[in-house]
């Protein structure tokens, strides 16, 4: 009976839009020393929530008492016509990580997982059995979703620490449904990275300090999203035109060449975020920012950090009197945080203009990245 239920769960998951469904137990003890070592080195930076729950992240049964199995799901998000190379090649455009160009995935996936749990309970009720005691998670609780996905056969952990799948690459979200059912489990798949280190050598800021280990404090996603204060001076030129997140380690990954496009139209790029001009984004008022990012993951950083990030990108853009004028205008009513980054950007612009040089400050390795992307993009991306 449980074997049939497991097969039904996977079929129901596909009907709900999940590209893959796997099942595993809650045993993550081997992850505890790795997590503790990562925390001890301070690689979590200002992400205090990574340390605040201790080892509960590796103990799902403590998070939800009675849990016997974790149903791990994958939902693809690679949008059509993503325009990676075009976006990165033009320093006057703002680059936004492609997971954030459409609707925020958290509520969408959580609602689908809840529906999956309800369907499981309906099936159990029809058999006059107790419910599954399900609880859905999508980045909403301290749980190690990637090791669980690996154990559930969704993929293997790549050297950039993301989950990779031979058919899907890494352009997908993960979610979990904790249940009190002893369902049959799936088998983990073998690692497929072999000797490849493309993600490590292509990281603009050298954030992948060793295979499978990311120093979050150096990661552009951390710097532009998680970091609340000032972006360290050493990293500002390396950000290039990346204003929200970074996809470089995924773009160079050869496994991603066969990645499928998303079936969810909600994950398609919004018109205002598709090849967006930095100066237009910088001109948004807070009201415009909130309107244009409604229902988007971008909204969580707020207007102040949005302006901070764009100011850095404008500093990295080609020398331009128009950019200087926009920076100076925004400086008149900028917060202390934003003003600091605007002044840095003005200094960069002044240096280029005084040297009569309109070239942008090069973000390390971006040129090589663009060549790789142009050669190996998924279809229609």
* pLDDT at res. 48: 79
196 labelled ligand-binding: yes
Identify whether the C-beta of residue 156 lies closer than 8 Å to the C-beta of residue 191. yes
Q: Are strands 172-179 and 69-76 parallel, antiparallel or unpaired?
A: antiparallel
Per-residue pLDDT of the chain (381 residues; tens, 9 = 90+): 899 999 999 999 999 999 999 999 999 989 999 999 999 999 999 887 777 776 778 888 888 899 999 999 999 999 998 999 889 999 999 999 999 999 999 999 999 999 999 999 999 999 999 999 999 999 877 789 999 999 999 999 999 999 999 999 999 999 999 999 999 999 999 999 999 999 999 999 999 999 999 999 999 999 999 999 999 999 999 999 999 999 999 999 999 998 999 999 999 999 999 999 999 999 999 999 999 999 999 999 999 999 999 999 999 999 999 999 999 999 999 999 999 999 999 999 999 999 876 666 566 567 667 666 666 655 456
The pLDDT, as a whole number, for residue 61 is 86
CA angle 208, 21, 107 (to 5 degrees): 75
> Which residues are catalytic, by number?
139
Within 260-317, residue ranges assigned H as helices are: 278-282, 286-292, 302-316
57 is in an annotated binding site: yes
Q: Are strands 156-157 and 163-164 parallel, antiparallel or unpaired?
A: antiparallel
Distance CA 120, CA 380 (A): 37
Kindly report the pTM of this predicted structure.
0.92
Domain ranges of the chain: 1-79+97-179
Q: Answer yes or no: is 236 a known binding residue.
A: no
CB 101 within 8 A of CB 270: yes
Give the Cβ contact number of residue 358 at 10 Å. Answer: 11
Residues of the chain by 3-state class (helix, strand, coil), percent to 5: 50, 10, 40
The kind and range of the H/E element at 148 are: helix 145-151
163 is in an annotated binding site: yes
pLDDT of residue 379: 47
């Amino acid at each position: 009976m449980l074997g049939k239920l497991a097969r039904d769960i996977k079929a129901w998951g596909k009907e709900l839009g999940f590209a893959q469904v796997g099942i595993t137990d809650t045993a993550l003890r081997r992850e505890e020393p790795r997590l503790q070592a990562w925390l001890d080195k301070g690689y979590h930076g200002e992400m205090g929530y990574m340390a605040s729950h201790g080892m509960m992240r590796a103990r799902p049964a403590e998070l939800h008492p009675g849990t016997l199995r974790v149903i791990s799901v994958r939902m693809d998000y690679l949008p059509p016509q993503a325009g990676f190379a075009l976006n990165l090649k033009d320093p006057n455009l703002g680059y936004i990580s492609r997971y954030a160009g459409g609707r925020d995935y958290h509520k969408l996936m959580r609602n689908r997982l809840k529906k999956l749990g309800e369907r499981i309970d309906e099936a159990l009720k029809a058999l006059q059995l107790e419910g599954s005691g399900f609880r859905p998670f999508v980045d909403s609780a301290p749980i190690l979703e990637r090791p669980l996905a690996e154990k559930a056969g969704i993929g293997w952990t790549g050297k950039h620490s993301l989950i990779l799948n031979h058919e899907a690459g890494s352009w997908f979200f993960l979610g979990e449904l904790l249940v009190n059912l002893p369902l049959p489990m799936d088998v983990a798949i073998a690692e497929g990275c072999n000797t490849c280190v493309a993600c490590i050598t292509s990281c603009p800021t050298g954030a992948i300090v060793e295979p499978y280990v990311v120093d979050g404090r150096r990661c552009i996603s951390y710097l532009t999203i998680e970091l609340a204060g000032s972006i360290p001076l050493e990293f500002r030129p390396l950000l290039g035109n990346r204003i929200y997140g970074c996809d470089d380690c995924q773009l160079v990954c050869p496994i991603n060449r066969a990645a499928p496009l998303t079936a969810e139209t909600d994950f398609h790029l919004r018109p205002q975020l598709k090849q967006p001009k930095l100066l237009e984004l910088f001109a948004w008022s807070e009201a415009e920012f909130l309107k244009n990012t409604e229902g988007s993951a971008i909204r969580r950083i707020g207007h102040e950090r949005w302006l901070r990030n764009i100011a850095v990108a404008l500093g990295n853009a080609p020398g331009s009197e128009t950019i200087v004028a926009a920076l100076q205008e925004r400086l008149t009513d900028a917060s202390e945080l934003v003003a600091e980054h605007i002044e840095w950007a003005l200094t960069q612009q002044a240096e280029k203009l005084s040297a009569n040089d309109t070239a942008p400050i090069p973000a390390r390795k971006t040129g090589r990245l663009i060549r790789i992307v142009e050669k190996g993009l998924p279809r229609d991306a």
